[in-house]
Structure 1
Amino acid sequence: MLRRVVQNYVTLPAVREIAIVAPDGETITRSGAFKNDRPYALVRPQLAAAMEDSARSGEERFLELELDGKPVLVEILPFHNTLFGTSGRRGLAIAILDLRQLQAATLQMFLTLTGAIAIGIVAILILMWVSIHRVVLKPLTLVNQAVAESDRTGVFTMPANLPRNEIKFLARNFERVVKQLEAYDQLHKEIEQRKQVEAALRQSEARERAKSHELGKLVRELKQTQAQLVQTEKMSSLGRMVGGVAHEINNPVSFIFGNLTFAQEYFEQLVDLIELYQQSYPQPTPQIARRLDEIELEFLIDDTQKLFASMKVGAERIRDIVLSLRNFSRFDEAELKSVKIEEGLRNTLLILQPRFQGGSPVEIVTVEEFGDLPLVECYASQINQVFLNLLSNAIDALESDERYRHGRKLPVPATIWIRTEALNKKTIAVRIRDNGPGMPPEVRQKAFDPFFTTKEIGKGTGLGLSISYQIIVEQHKGRLECISKPGEGTEFVIEIPTQIPRS
């Protein structure tokens, strides 16, 4: 029955092919002398995607394409039928219309009727002309006018009172195609608008990220500047205080040291005089003899000479300490100057000597391995500041290590190793290492951040290492590296050029 319906419908002039397709893609029936046992998608592969989409969505599909070199209009209509059971699956009714054949058939009909009228009765010719005009030409003209108007306005309006034939079918399909094109254009415009909005949002987001990055950079620079100012002011105050104390101590120490020599010479002259008296008067009077026994003259002379020697050593020691304090402050070396690095290290160790000798709860040993270094052009006071920061941190780390606080007998005592070496003719290295508790990775990564400290409140500002990094890396174009693992101590490696590169 379906085949008879299909064969009857395919007799229309514009219809090339009719097919009924089951939900599984098998061809139920198809017009023409074809076998119906093949899937229709294999017969017409150009329609496979549209068929699948229509069957899945349940929406009618219209396609305009070429089949066998001829333009056709394809309509795909999904439908339900009890033939397919109650699963709700859809079959497809597919109609392929040949537009050229429709026009050719119309033209042929027109020519045939015209010939018949020419041969036959004029009245029949007029009747046929009126019929063709009403059924074909006028609808085609209306459709043509509507198409031309749609080119101008972009909106296709379906002509009224079209006959129910292929022209109306064509007009309806054309209307649907135009609506689809309108929807596509609208969608395209919306996509372009969204793209423009997204581009504007991305640009705005990029600008805000740039501003945020710049603000963060300014905040970091401000923190670094603040840290540097605080530490510089602190070291400047310390330097002024140390320099002032050294100056104040130096005057009386110079007076004492200078007078000790004369006092010792005067005492020796008095001893010589006493010896002359003893030679001239070997038998003193009883009163003098008693006095000599009371004061133990020989012991007095010997012990006084030892006192003068001890006082001289103490005065020299005070003078050396004052000299070290003056060298450490170095107000006269604020500019670049070639100095001996090992001299700065020794001066710094001398400044920290009270912490090594009784000023610390832990007995700390220092091991100095100074290599043969050339003179280094640097800001001496700043380099001494770095040495003071690193050595102070090493002492703090050893004092906080519980292994050394309880006087345990360990194979290696609390030790600070200070080593210098010339890496090449242009670079020297200073290594300061301790065998303290070390640092975990998360602490080591933040060691040079301003205001970061693991010390208790009031014992550290978190500026020492940050300032040291700026002095070595930024001021002297060198490198400062921290090497540390928990339980294995900490080592700071300073590498600076013997001459700061000129930019």
Structure 2
Amino acid sequence: MSQPAKNRLSQQLLIGFGISLITVGLTTLGFNHLLIKSQLRYKQEQRAQTITQGVAFSTEGLIELGNTSIIKRIVQNYATMPSVVEVAIVSPDGQTLARSGAQAKNRPYADIYPQWAQILQQAAQTGIDRSFRTQIDGRPVLVEILPFSSTLFAKENRRGLAIAILDVKELQQQAWQTFSTSTITLVVGMSAILMLMTMMIQRLVLHPLQRLNKAVTNSPSIDYFVMPSGLPNNEIKFLAQTIQAAATRVEAYQQLEQEIAQRKQVEAALLESEAQLRQQAQDLEKAMQDLQQAQTRIVQAEKMSSLGQLVAGVAHEINNPVSFIHGNLSHIEDYTQNLLQLIDIYRQKYSDNPETNHKVAEIDLEFIQEDLPKLIGSMKTGTERIRGIVQSLRNFSRLDEAKLKIVDVHEGIESTLLILQSRLNAKPGFAGIEIIKDYSQLPKVECYPGQLNQVFMNILANAIDALEASTSHQLAAKTNPQISIVTQVLADKAVSIHIHDNGYGMDETVKAKLFDPFFTTKPVGKGTGLGLSISYQIIVGNHGGKLYCNSFPEQGTEFVIEIPIYQGNR
């Protein structure tokens, strides 16, 4: 186990150091390359200028003395310098005084290089040195032309030319040779440094670590460690001391871990017990809520059952005599017609009887004959109205319909409105409530009719209470009290009933608690706070529908009831 770790560590150290060393070396070479490349052109031009200046300075006096042999020797000496192709001295009239490598009599320099004739003439006339690059016999060269004056030339403005031609390629080769030599030197130095670092890492780092690793591996237990001898006094020895100190603390840590584990077990038991208690409290709270809701439903059911029985009893007691009266009115109408016909026959036969005529005039027989059929018709209309009210009361109570029935929702709404009619009428200080109906063509709905009518009664009664309360807010002075009822068929096989009043409305705080049991905004003794809670249970719980409220202060309140057409879709 120790040897692979050693190899990995040595490889990592050497690779890291090698990468750093190579990076430094390559960076140095890069800078050296850029430096040589940037200074090569400058050094070439500087070398050419140095040669032309030296030639001009060395030959100026000799030209005055006319010693051309020495001038030629000087030119030849400069021509022997590395990378120099040619050195020449040209007189002001263009004759070649001296030219390196020329054995015969020199001819005009412009004839030797006719392509430079114009450049040579401009340099002699202006006295400005010229430097340019060109090719001679296919090799690149640098040409430096330096104008100079001499008393030998007789005229002050006459100038001779010192010319130096350097081989550019040879200069570049010399520069790159220098660069290659420095590169080889750098590589050799880096290799030597890398080998030295390898030996130092092996001796100062890897071998002590190997001994330390062996001591740790040979330890019989985690809490026992013997420090190896001969460790260098550096971080490795500090690491060994740390391991030894850690080993002495392991036993204490193990005891501490045992204590922590025991405490965790106790805490887990406490948390489990607390969770059980919390769950029991939640179950108890839910049971209390269910009990309260059950009590509420029982109380309301008892109230509605009693009300239904009362309504049904009253409807039955009224229906019997009304049916008797309504059934006999048709016979009374026939009898009356027969009697009136008999009176007409009697009057025609005894028209000259003074007593009869006196009685006819006294009772205004003609008025009776005209008004009696109307009176009987009014009585029939009244009995039919009473029978309609009785039927509405029986429809509302629905005591015989505790199971699901298919009914007309509009019929239940109309029965509820009929029962609440007395509260809708105008009273002193109250203008009365206008009912606006917008009924759609609804299919019959499968529901619990008595429960659904109970919801209509609760919501409509609350709307009436809200409109009556709005009078105290002087809202009725701004708009007439109205309740609008809109029914619609929904796309998801359901119907909706929207009941909206233009009362004062309610804020978000009241809306949030609207369906909570025993919550009410009515005065003490007037509201129990159970109506909407029970209505919500009937619509959502018993019918699988929805009941929600839209309301804003001073914008009225709208309750929306949505129930499925068939309870089998739940």
TM range (shorter): 0.5 to 0.7
For residue 60 of structure 2, what is the aligned residue in structure 1? none
Q: Check the 8 A contact 1:362/1:398 in 2, yes or no.
A: no
**Structure 1 residue 280: deviation in Å?**
1.8
Contact map agreement 1:70 1:98 (CA 8 A) in 2: no
**2 CA distance for matches of 1:376 and 1:260?**
38
1:415 alignment counterpart: 482
Distance 2:418 2:438 in 1: 16
Equivalent in the alignment of 2:377: 309
Instruction: Please state whether the residue corresponding to 1:267 is helix, strand or coil.
Output: helix
Q: 1:470 aligns to what?
A: 537
| Distance in 1 between residues matched to 2:242 and 2:286, nearest whole Å | 64
The one-letter amino acid paired with 1:221 is D
In 2, distance between residues paired with 1:447 and 1:206? 32
**Cα offset for 1:331?**
2.0
Give the alignment's TM-score, normalised by structure 1.
0.63
The match for 2:361 among 293, 296, 311 is 293
Partner of 1:101: 230
Deviation at 1:442, TM superposition (A): 1.7
Q: Which amino acid aligns with 2:369?
A: I
- Across the aligned residues of Structure 1 and Structure 2, the Cα RMSD in angstroms comes to 2.8
292-301 or 488-497, larger mean C-alpha shift: 292-301
Judging changes above 3 Å, is the alpha-carbon distance between structure 1 residues 359 and 233 closer, same or farther for their aligned structure 2 residues? farther
Deviation at 1:269, TM superposition (A): 1.6
1:179 offset after TM fit, Å?
6.0
The structure with the largest alpha-carbon Rg is: 2
Determine if the alignment matches structure 1 residue 367 to structure 2 residue 496: no
Where in structure 2 are the equivalents of 1:27-46 lying within 5 Å? Answer: none
Encode CA deviations 1:408-455: one digit per residue, 9 max, x unaligned. 2x3x41111111111137211111111111121121111111221111
| Separation in 1, partners of 2:330, 2:568 | 49
Which structure has more helix as a fraction of its residues? Answer: 2
Aligned residues: 343
Counterpart of 2:502, as a letter, is: N
Compared CA separation, residues 308 and 67, structure 1 to 2 (3 A)? farther
Match of 1:331 among 374, 399, 409: 399
1:299-448 to structure 2, matched below 5 A, reads 299-358=367-426, 361-402=430-471, 408=477, 410=478, 412-424=479-491, 426-448=493-515
Q: Where do 1:126-205 residues align within 5 Å?
A: 180-205=249-274
The answer to whether the 8 A contact 2:548-2:560 is kept is yes
Q: Deviations over 1:93-135 (max 9, x none)?
A: xxxx974139xxxxxxxxxxxxxxxxxxxxxxxxxxxxxxxxx
Does structure 2 conserve the Cα–Cα contact (< 8 Å) formed by 1:71 and 1:100? no
Determine the structure 2 residue equivalent to 1:221. Answer: 290
In 2 relative to 1, CA 173–486 (structure 1 residues): closer, same or farther, beyond 3 Å?
A: closer
Question: In structure 2, what is the Cα distance between the partners aligned to 1:98 and 1:313?
Answer: 120
Q: Per-residue deviation at 1:390? A: 0.9
Letter in 2 for 1:477: G
The alpha-carbon deviation at position 201 of structure 1 amounts to: 2.1
2:405·2:447 contact (CA, 8 Å) conserved in 1?
A: yes
Q: Are the equivalent residues in 2 in contact too, given 1:324–1:350 (CA < 8 A)? A: yes
Offset of residue 275 of structure 1: 1.4
The residue correspondences of 1:483-498 to structure 2 (distance < 5 A) are 483-498=550-565
SS at match of 1:227: helix
Residues of 1 paired with 2:408 and 2:419: CA distance?
A: 17
Unpaired runs of 5+ in structure 2?
A: 1-206, 214-225, 232-240
Aligned counterparts of 2:474 and 2:328: Cα–Cα separation in 1:
45
- Select 1:257's aligned residue among 310, 323, 326: 326
Pick aligned residue for 2:521 from 454, 458, 461: 454
| Local SS of the residue matching 2:534 | helix
Tell me how far 1:359 sits from its aligned partner. Answer: 6.3
Provide the TM-score with structure 2 as the length reference. 0.56
Please state whether the residue corresponding to 1:495 is helix, strand or coil: strand
Asked if the contact 2:351/2:357 (under 8 Å) is kept, the reply is no
Question: Cα offset for 1:262?
Answer: 1.5
- Aligned equivalents of 1:364, 1:273: Cα separation in 2: 51
Q: Is the 8 A contact 1:325 1:351 kept in 2?
A: yes
- Give the gaps of 5 or more residues in structure 1: 1-65, 73-96, 103-171
> CA 1:191 to 1:383, structure 2 compared with 1: closer, same or farther past 3 Å?
same
- Deviation of 1:294 (Å): 2.3
Listed as ranges, the matches of 1:70-81 within 5 Å are 71=212
Amino acid at match of 1:352: L
More displaced, 484-493 or 174-183?
174-183
Identify which range, 294-303 or 463-472, moves more after superposition. Answer: 294-303
Aligned to 2:506, the other structure's residue is in SS state: coil
CA distance in 2, matches of 1:501, 1:423: 17
Q: Answer whether contact 2:475 2:504 (CA < 8 A) is retained.
A: no
SS at structure 2 position matched to 1:501:
helix
Q: What is the distance in 1 between the residues matched to 2:372 and 2:282? A: 75
SS at match of 1:493: strand
